[in-house]
Structure 1
Amino acid sequence: MTTGHPIVLFDGVCNYCNSWVNYAIRHDRKAKLKFAALQSEIGQELRKQYGLDPSIESVLLIDKGRVYEYSDAALEIAKRLDWPAKAIYALKIFPRFLRTPVYKWIARNRYKWFGKKDACMIPTPDIKSRFL
């Protein structure tokens, strides 16, 4: 599946992840990014298409045939946002070996700290076109 747009795969039941998706949508006024929950049929299809390990519960970014995982995905998403949100990309100055463990620690604790939903979020009509 190709959309011509970068695709963000995210944990659709995670409150923290949903907050970040909403943040990204608000700061992507040109609608460059498309979104799909990892748990969705399309999310599962994209995982298979790109040979992604089903145990990875990280946000993923697929852009021009390349897959970004963990902190790399988060920073690459930020890079595609409008200012001032794009400034988050400056965290790229920290080497991956420092960024990724911090990212994984937050990911491991996200349900405990922020909670989770029983089902994936349902996009509102005004942003529905942003979801696959």
Structure 2
Amino acid sequence: MPRPIVIFDGDCGLCNGFVAWLIRHDPREQFLIAGSAGEVGRAALAAMGLDASVAASTLVLATVDGPRLRADAVAGILGTLAWPWRAARSITWVPRRWRNGVYDAIARRRPRADADDPACGMPPASLVEAWRARLATSADVDALRV
């Protein structure tokens, strides 16, 4: 089964922080990552039928079942991790309009941080190797198109 790809804005400090957090809390390496500004990130968005501009302010989870956006992406990611993070899946009980409203309010206040390479973000020094090992490839994107 192909691994889902987390597509994020590599110039977003909050997005980079979330991806760093995910790498530390996903010991089974269930998720790959791709910056939305890179070739692989843009290809994954296209494979999901999404315009590249969507990832400028939205976290996208690309899966074989299609894309999950915003709060659904967060719930889809956290819901597969160990306790207590998997409890976050319960946010899907909240109407999508409300949970995406909270997501959007947080996204409007997110810090910007120029990444050395927005195509893959800006990993903390302690995670550079693990971060690079999780970068999705074109083959990973192709596997999602099944």
What residue is the counterpart of 2:79 in the other structure? 79
What residue is the counterpart of 1:115 in the other structure? 112
Distance 1:103 1:59 in 2: 10
Q: Do residues 60 (structure 1) and 57 (structure 2) align?
A: no
Among the aligned pairs, what percent are the same residue? 31
Distance 1:85 1:42 in 2: 28
Q: Tell me, which stretches of 5 or more residues in structure 2 are unaligned?
A: 137-146
Contact 1:29–1:82 under 8 Å retained in 2: no
Structure 2 length as normaliser, TM-score? 0.78
Structure 2 counterpart of 1:28, from 19, 26, 29:
26
**Structure showing greater relative contact order (alpha-carbon pairs closer than 8 Å, 6 or more residues apart):** 2
Q: Which runs of 4+ in 1 moved over 3 A?
A: none
Q: Tell me, which stretches of 5 or more residues in structure 1 are unaligned?
A: none
Paired residues in the alignment total 127
Distance 1:118 1:6 in 2: 23
Structure 1 length as normaliser, TM-score? 0.86
CA 1:63–1:74 in 2, change beyond 3 Å: closer, same or farther? Answer: same
Q: CA RMSD in A?
A: 1.7
Distance 1:65 1:92 in 2: 17
